[in-house]
Structure 1
Amino acid sequence: MKPKINFLVFSLALIQLNFIFLLQISSNIFRTLPPSDNPDFDPEEDEPTLEASWPHIQLVYEFFLRFLESPDFQPSIAKRYIDQRFVQQLLELFDSEDPRERDFLKTVLHRIYGKFLGLRAFIRKQINNIFLRFIYETEHFNGVAELLEILGSIINGFALPLKAEHKQFLMKVLIPMHTAKGLALFHAQLAYCVVQFLEKDTTLTEPVIRGLLKFWPKTCSQKEVMFLGEIEEILDVIEPTQFKKIEEPLFKQISKCVSSSHFQVAERALYFWNNEYILSLIEENIDKILPIMFGSLYKISKEHWNPTIVALVYNVLKTLMEMNGKLFDDLTNSYKAERQREKKKELEREELWRKLEELKLKKAMAEKQNSTHNVLNTHSTSAK
C-alpha cells in the first residue's frame, strides 16, 4: 500500500510542478504584441523592430525547450496545461516582428506537435486559418515562413493515402498563397511544401501545375522567376504519365517566358534545358513540345536585344534539332513560309493604305476645287 501512496504523492507533486512551470512560462511569453513602429512596415525593405526584453524572454524559451525535450517529460501530465488555448496563444506570437522569437517559436511548436498527438489536428486547423486570413484579409503576418517550415516536416510525415482535408489544404490554401505580395519572403518554404505533397501523391501534379498557371504573375518579373524555379522543382519529381497531362499548357507558358523582354525571366526559362531529367521528358514528347516552342525560339534568335539570351536560344534550338531533325526542318520551312505570307499581307496592307491616302487626297482636292468654283460663281452673280 505504501508504494502506491508514494507514487500518488509523487504524481501529484509532478502535476503541481508542471502547473507551476507552465504557468510561469505563460506569464512570461504570452502577451499582446505591440503595434509596429512603422505602419507601412515592409519586411523586404525595412529592418524589424526587435523585442526590447528579448534577453529575458529568450531565457524563458530556452527553459521551455529543455522542459519539452527532457527525457522525464510526460505529455500525459503536461496535456492538462498545454491545451488548445495554450497553442492558440503560441500561434499568435508568430506575428512577432523579431525573427529571433519566431525561430524559437518554430522549434517549440514543432516539439509540441510531435509530442501531443491530440493537438495535431487543432494545430493544422489553426495554421490553415492563419493562412486564409493572410491571403484574403490582412495580407500581413510575420511568421508565414516559419509556419510553412513546420508544415514541411508535418507533410513529410503524412500517412498514405492522403486525407481529403490535406489535399484541400494544398489546393485551397497553399496554391492561392502564391498570389501574396510578399511571396519572396516565404516562397522557398512554400515551394518545398508543394513538392512534398507531390512526392506523396503524384496524381496531384496536374491540378497543382494548372493552379500555378492560373495564378501566374502578369506584371512582376521577380515573381515570374520564382514561379519558374518552383516549376523546375516540380518537374524534377514529376512522373512521365503526369507530365503528358500538363505539357501543353505548361510549355505555352514557358514559351511566353522565353519571349519575355525581361532578361532574368527569359534566362530562367531557358535554363530548363540544362536539366537532364527535364530534357528527357521533352525528348519523349518532342512532337508536342517543339511546335509550341519553335516560333518563340526562332523569333528570339533573330530579334532579342540581349546577346546572352540569343546565345542560350541557339543552344536550345540545337538541342531540339538533335532530338528530331525532320520535325525541326518542317517547322523551320513552315515558319519561314508563314513569315513570307505575313510580309506579303503587310505589303498588301501598306499598299491599301497608300491607295486610301491617295483617294483621300484626291477627294480633298476635288472638294477644294468645287469650293473655289462655288465662290467664283457667287462673286459673278453678285457682280451682275
Structure 2
Amino acid sequence: MTDKGGIGAQQYQIPPPKTQGAATGGQQLSATATQFVDKIDPFSKRGTSKRRRRLVNSSRYHPDSEPELTQLQLIKALNELIDHITTVKGAITELIYPEVIKMVSKNIFRVLPPSDNSEFDPEEDEPTLEVSWPHLQACLVYELFLRFLESPDFQATVGKKYIDQRFVLNLLDLFDSEDPRERDFLKTVLHRIYGKFLGLRAFIRKQINNMFLSFVFETDSFNGVGELLEILGSIINGFALPLKQEHKVFLVKVLLPLHKPRCLSLYHAQLAYCVVQFIEKDSTLTPQVFDALLKFWPRTCSAKEVMFLGEVEEILDIIEPEQFKKIIEPLFKQLAKCVSSPHFQVAERALYFWNNEYILSLIEENSSQVMPIMFPALYRISKEHWNQTIVALVYNVLKTFMEMNGKLFDELTANYKLERQKEKRKEKEREDLWKRLAAVELNPPNDRDPHILSKTPLTNFMTKRELPAGYGLIAPANSVGDKSSNFDKPSGEF
C-alpha cells in the first residue's frame, strides 16, 4: 500500500510525537519536527545501534546488562573428559594429542577486545570479566588442558609436534586479558609447558623479554606482567651456576627497567622476588642492581619510593659484607635524602632500616663510612622535622650511632655545629651585602657625602663567592683596599 506520493508509507512512516527533556523545556515535538531532527542527525541512532551490536558480539562480561545464559551441552562432555584423563590409566594415546590441542585452540585463542574504559585504573576499577566464564566453559577447557599436561601418560616427544612456537605465541597474547581468573590459568599452563618442553624454553624467555620491553618503552599497558614475573621467579630459581651472560643481560636490560612504569605497584612484589633471586645466585650483580635502582628512583611519587625502600631492605637482608662495602656511599646518600623527606611514610620507612639486626651489624662494621654520610641529615631532622614520630625515630638512630662509635659521634657533632656557624656567618654577610647595595642605590655615595657604609669594599664580599672565571663585573682583589677592580664603582670610598 502506498500513499498519495507513490512512496511506501511503511518505509517513511512518521513516528509518534515524543516528549523531549530539558533541552526542549519538556514540551512535545510534533511529528514533522521529530522527522526533521532525525534527518539532520542521522548518525545518532545508527551509532548507538552499532555500539550495541559490538557489545553483544564481543567477549566482554557486562554485569549491568547480563544476558540470559543457557547451559551448554559441551560442559557435560568436558567434565567427563577431565574425569577420564584423571582416573583412567593409559587414557592419553597418540591419537588424542591433535584433538585436544585443536579443541583448546578453538575455545581459548581469540583476539582480545579493546578496553571499554580508556582511563581504566587497575588499582581502583574492577577488572572486566570474560562473558564465557559464567558457563564455566573456558574454565573447564583450561582445567582439561592442565590435566592433560600433568598426566603421567603425557609424552613430550609426541606433544612437541602440536605444542609449537605458534601455540606458545597465541598463549602469551592471552596474558593481556583483563580477567584475573584467566591469567591465573594461563600462568599455570605456560609454566607446565616450560617445564616439559626443553626446546621451547629459550623461545619462551625471548618472547617474555620482548613483551616486557614493549610494555616499558612503548605501550605502558599490559595486564599480565605480574603473572609472567611469577613464572620467571621460578625459572630464575632454577638457573645453573655460574649464570650465563644472557641471563645477566636479561636482569640489567629487561627486569630492572620494569621499575620505571607508574603501575609498578601491580607487580612490584614479584619483580622484587626476581631481583633478589638473581643476587642470591650471583652476589657480584649487587652494584649493578643498586645503580639501576638509583637511576629509576622515583622523584615525585612517594608511594613508589616506599616500595623501592622495601626492595632495598630485601636486598640488604641477603647481601654479602664485601658487596655491602661497594655500595655504602650511593646507598646511604639516597637514604639520607629519604630520611629528610617531608613525607613521613618515606622517612619512616628509611629509618626502619635501623630495626633490622643484620643491616645494623653491617652498619656497625662500617660505621666510619656510614656515620659521616648520615649524621648531618639526622641531626638537622631532629631539630626541624614536623612529625614527632620521625623525630623520635631519629633520636633512636642517633643514640645507636653514639653507642657504636662515641668518639666519631662527638667529632661529627662538633664539626656539624662549626659548619652551621659558618653557614650562619655567610648568610649574615650576604644579608649585609644586600643591605649595603640597597643603601648605595638609594643614596649614591660621593666625595662630599659622609660614609653611609663601612669602608670594606663590596668587592671583598663578592670575591668570597665562587663565581665563574672571567666574570664580567668582578675580579679578585689583591688587598682590602685594592682599587683595580673591574667593578665600576663611583668615585670616592664606600
Deviations 1:292-337 (A, max 9, x none): 0000000000000000000000000000111000000000000001
Larger-gyration structure (1/2): 2
Counterpart code for 2:165: Q
Q: Which 5+ residue runs of structure 1 have no aligned equivalent?
A: 1-10, 365-384
Aligned to 1:46: 125
Aligned to 1:179: 260
Map residues 118-129 of structure 1 onto 2, 5 A cutoff.
118-129=199-210
Distance in 2 (alpha carbons) for counterparts of 1:327 and 1:35 = 62
Deviation at 1:120, TM superposition (A): 0.7
Confirm whether residue 350 of structure 1 aligns to residue 431 of structure 2. yes
Q: Which 5+ residue runs of structure 2 have no aligned equivalent?
A: 1-89, 446-494
Aligned to 2:401: 320
TM-score scaled by length of structure 1: 0.90
Map residues 1-384 of structure 1 onto 2, 5 A cutoff.
14-54=93-133, 55-363=136-444
Distance in 2 (alpha carbons) for counterparts of 1:334 and 1:215 = 34
Distance in 1 (alpha carbons) for counterparts of 2:236 and 2:100 = 31
Distance in 1 (alpha carbons) for counterparts of 2:431 and 2:206 = 64
Give RMSD over aligned pairs.
1.5
Aligned to 2:48: none
Distance in 2 (alpha carbons) for counterparts of 1:141 and 1:283 = 44
Distance in 1 (alpha carbons) for counterparts of 2:427 and 2:243 = 57
Deviation at 1:77, TM superposition (A): 0.9
Question: How many equivalent residue pairs?
Answer: 355
Distance in 1 (alpha carbons) for counterparts of 2:121 and 2:173 = 20
Moved over 4 A (4+): none
Deviations 1:255-306 (A, max 9, x none): 0000001111100000000000000110011001100000000000000000
Deviation at 1:44, TM superposition (A): 1.7
Counterpart code for 1:27: K
Distance in 2 (alpha carbons) for counterparts of 1:21 and 1:172 = 38
Counterpart code for 1:47: E
Aligned to 1:376: none
Distance in 2 (alpha carbons) for counterparts of 1:363 and 1:44 = 65
Deviation at 1:14, TM superposition (A): 2.4
Deviation at 1:15, TM superposition (A): 2.3
* Identity over aligned pairs, percent: 74
Secondary structure of 2:443's partner? helix
* Greater RCO, CA 8 A, separation 6+: 1
Secondary structure of 1:175's partner? helix
Secondary structure of 1:15's partner? coil
Counterpart code for 1:72: D
Secondary structure of 2:390's partner? helix
Secondary structure of 2:123's partner? coil
TM-score scaled by length of structure 2: 0.70
Counterpart code for 1:297: L
Deviations 1:123-174 (A, max 9, x none): 1111001001001111111000000000000000000010111000000011
Distance in 2 (alpha carbons) for counterparts of 1:352 and 1:122 = 70
Q: Greater shift after overlay, 351-360 or 251-260?
A: 351-360
Secondary structure of 2:94's partner? helix
Secondary structure of 1:20's partner? helix
Deviation at 1:350, TM superposition (A): 1.7
Counterpart code for 1:89: N
Deviation at 1:40, TM superposition (A): 2.0
Distance in 2 (alpha carbons) for counterparts of 1:346 and 1:39 = 53
